[in-house]
Structure 1
């Protein structure tokens, strides 16, 4: 059985993941607002497509975070 071994993520990597998730969340909100504030169906369709892409990115980042959760230190590192 070939199980992929994950190394614990560093504090810097964790910070990057959290920042990236925050950015994707903001982009999802902006795409939603744009999609529902326009009367142009082409613009709405493009915004909804971008919303879907940002949701996929967010879920990928969340899954990565969850995969490494078990290896996260339970005490602050010195």
Structure 2
């Protein structure tokens, strides 16, 4: 595996921000709806977005292992 480019890293960070926002929105929706089925669906969606977020985080952590260290 090759190190990620700066543009790829920016895309991943932006995607993580988007996933975090979606997690919060789905969680808030689940808490505010009266219908238990809709609440369950919203929580499932929040879980999917959490999975996506974790995958992106894992990708960044793998990149840290591959990235060359910068001299100070």
TM-score normalised by the chain length of structure 2: 0.91
Q: Does 1:70 align with 2:65?
A: yes
Indicate the RMSD between aligned Cα atoms, in angstroms. 1.0
Q: Deviations over 1:11-57 (max 9, x none)?
A: 00000000000000000000000000111111101100101100000
How many residues align? The count is 70
Runs of 4+ displaced beyond 6 Å: none
Q: Secondary structure at the match of 1:39?
A: coil
TM-score normalised by the chain length of structure 1: 0.84
Shift of 1:71: 2.4
Q: Tell me, which stretches of 5 or more residues in structure 2 are unaligned? A: none
**Higher helix share goes to which structure?**
2
Q: Tell me, which stretches of 5 or more residues in structure 1 are unaligned? A: 1-5
